[in-house]
Amino acid sequence: MRPWIVGTAACLVAAAAPAAAKLQDTYWWQLQKLDAPFHDIKHVPGTTADLEAACLQEPTCCGFNSDGYLKNCCTEACVSVSGTDLYVRQSAPQPAAPPSLVPLPTKFTRGTSSLAVNAAKFQFTVVEPAGSPPADLEAAFSRAAALMFLDPARAAPGAGALVELKVSVANVSAPLALGVDESYELDIPADGSAATLTAATLFGAYNGLTTLAQLVRFDYDSHSHVIQEAPWTIIDAPKFSWRGLLIDSSRHFEPVGAMKRYIDSMTLAKLNTVHWHITDEQAVPLESTTHPKLWNGAWSKRERYTHEDIRAVVEYARQRGVRVVPEVDTPGHEASWCVGYPEVCPSPSCPMPLRPDTNATFDLISGIFEEFAGQGRAAGSAPIFTDEYLHLGGDEVSTTCWEQNATIMAWLRSKNLTADGGYEYFVKRAHDLASAVGRRAVVWEEVWQHFGTALPKDTVIEAWLTTEAPPNATSHGYSVVWAVDGRWYLDHLDVSWESMYAQDPLAGITNPAQQALVVGGEGCMWGETVDNSDWMATVWPRAAAIAERLWSYDAVPQTAAGLAGVRSRLSWFRCAMNRWGFGAAPLDNLLARSAPSGPGSCYDQ
């Protein structure tokens, strides 16, 4: 049995047997917010030094906690997350804490120098491509500078400070799409010579700039900006391509300015996909030119999106490397459509699912899709959503309202369909309408549960009901997005970041070909309990746990000690977000978005 944990990376290493340990070989490692419950020897009053001395006197003692309890030796399995810190006796110095970067880069080396950064003179130089830099890249430089230098007017440091980042992007015309190369390499010498950032695409370059912005801190002793632990070499790429956040603008309307701010916050943690749940049973804020009465189902006239509004959000996101995938959730969830088009609903009192027995329903859906893609009746207009993927919903369909309507039942019988067969017919027609405008369908898990391998092979399954769906669907060759309810649903206010971090999108999948079909996952911020007033504090910092899991999957061990390192980085990230002006809630709030428990600093001194 190996006693105690060691290290932030490799879990367990045997500590020297206490009796044999020499005092000068003894190091006490501090493991933040961990404890070894049920392994108390006794309580010892006094200082940390008193506890160290008392532990050395006890043959079975391997450490103590910050409440003053000496602890018996035990294996890693005895350690769990706690309000206290654990001090563990070891025979080597404690490794440096992981760097305060979120998500943690996949590979990095760092040094021990503090490198000053000259805010007043700092410049971004584009080495490749030659010629004038693309406007999107220049805009990204301005955004990075705003994050790096909170106060550029502060006194500039003298000689030896970093003044330049040289940027090379191999292909600036690669379009934003699922699976685009988002990797980058960032090298920061310690001597003040130019740092370099190389990336295959603009989107990789944006990620590198975000990392650089996280490395620069203001140092209040020297009154200058610094990068600690220089020199740095960071070689980084995400594990998963779909790192998403569902934003629901039906349950509460989310104004265009709020949508942009949410996207800004996502880029800080390298989230790259908005799943825009833009319509649901409570409200449809979406303009339609082919069906102008559709947005009669908005909450009010002022809580609506014009096509121009949506294009502006999509373009804003694209400039930041964020895809926007819209969801039109049929046949369930669309009672709001009956306000403008009662003919697509079974009846006013029993409005969902949408009627399968009238072409009016499919004409409305195809009108929306044609407008999204700038095709068919919308040919000649610019597309509204540009991404290849289109979410068709398909969840929570109860066919009771169909069964209560004689006309619908007669139609189903004429087609030799059961009510469930009518659901399949509907899903297939919606899929065909998406294909007709060149879009690839994403559906919620129920569609997979009902129709399984009868679904076209290009369908992407979003798993939300079970953790069994990803192994099952990928074994049949279907791509999967991981978003299991109660685990990555941010509307569950009582689910902690630790629990979100512990989820494994690849659980139960060992075959590499199948693993590759898990394109990623997303946190789902269903909108019943949020609007622009509390969205940031509800989503953050928990979404950073999801973001890091999806980016740094192989880089962070899922051990108690590994999690302790995550805690210290997420604590820092939450404070950094606050400093950048994004209202992320405290890390340890028991119900997401609760206020700090009392006065206190965000940062450790």
Ligand X SMILES: *[C@@H]1O[C@H](CO)[C@@H](O)[C@H](O)[C@H]1NC(C)=O
C-alpha to C-alpha distance for 162 and 143, rounded to whole angstroms: 18
Cβ neighbours around 508 below 10 Å, total: 13
Strand runs (DSSP E) across 133-241, as ranges?
164-171, 184-188, 195-201, 216-219, 224-236
Confirm or reject binding of residue 282 to ligand X (CB under 6 A): no
Q: Minimal CA–CA distance to 476: which of 443, 458, 453?
A: 453
> Which residue of 416, 510, 601, 605 would you call a contact of ligand X, by CB under 6 A?
416
Long-range contacts: 298-302, Cβ < 8 Å, 24+? 298/253, 298/336, 299/253
Q: How far is the CB of 393 from ligand X (least distance, A)?
A: 17
> Which residue of 114, 168, 290, 405 would you call a contact of ligand X, by CB under 6 A?
405
357-376 positions binding ligand X, by CB under 6 A: 359
Of residues 114 and 449, the one with the C-beta less far from ligand X: 449
Per-residue x/- track, 156-175, ligand X (CB under 6 A): ---------------x-xx-
* DSSP-derived 3-state class of residue 390: strand
Per-residue x/- track, 318-337, ligand X (CB under 6 A): --------------------
Of residues 203 and 242, the one with the C-beta less far from ligand X: 203
Per-residue x/- track, 463-482, ligand X (CB under 6 A): -----x---x----------
User: Interface with ligand X by CB under 6 A: which range of 51-59, 66-74, 280-288, 403-411?
Assistant: 403-411
Q: How far is the CB of 526 from ligand X (least distance, A)?
A: 24
Confirm or reject binding of residue 400 to ligand X (CB under 6 A): no
Confirm or reject binding of residue 572 to ligand X (CB under 6 A): no
Looking up tokens 């330049």 gives 164
Q: Which residue is nearest to ligand X (CB)?
A: 452
Q: How far is the CB of 425 from ligand X (least distance, A)?
A: 11
C-alpha to C-alpha distance for 137 and 205, rounded to whole angstroms: 8
Tokens of 103: 């998500």
Of residues 239 and 429, the one with the C-beta less far from ligand X: 429
Of residues 26 and 449, the one with the C-beta less far from ligand X: 449
> Which residue of 222, 347, 533, 597 would you call a contact of ligand X, by CB under 6 A?
347
C-alpha to C-alpha distance for 441 and 460, rounded to whole angstroms: 6
Cis peptide before 238 (omega within 30 of 0): no
- Say how far residue 95 (Cα) sits from the centre of its chain: 28
Q: Does residue 396 have an active-site annotation?
A: yes
Per-residue exposure over 565-582, b if at least 16 CB sit within 10 Å of its own CB, e if not: bbbbbbbbbbbbbbeeeb
Of residues 347 and 400, the one with the C-beta less far from ligand X: 347
Q: Which of the residues 308, 315, 388, 396 is marked catalytic?
A: 396
Check residue 344 and report its DSSP letter.
G
Cis peptide before 557 (omega within 30 of 0): no
Confirm or reject binding of residue 448 to ligand X (CB under 6 A): yes
Of residues 309 and 504, the one with the C-beta less far from ligand X: 504
Of residues 194 and 360, the one with the C-beta less far from ligand X: 360
Q: Could you tell me the CA-to-CA distances from 237 to 56, 182, 487, 551 in Å, in that order? A: 45, 6, 25, 7
Question: Can you give the binding site for ligand X, defined by CB under 6 A?
Answer: 171, 173-174, 346-347, 359, 404-405, 407, 416, 448-449, 452, 468, 472
Active-site residues, by number, are: 396
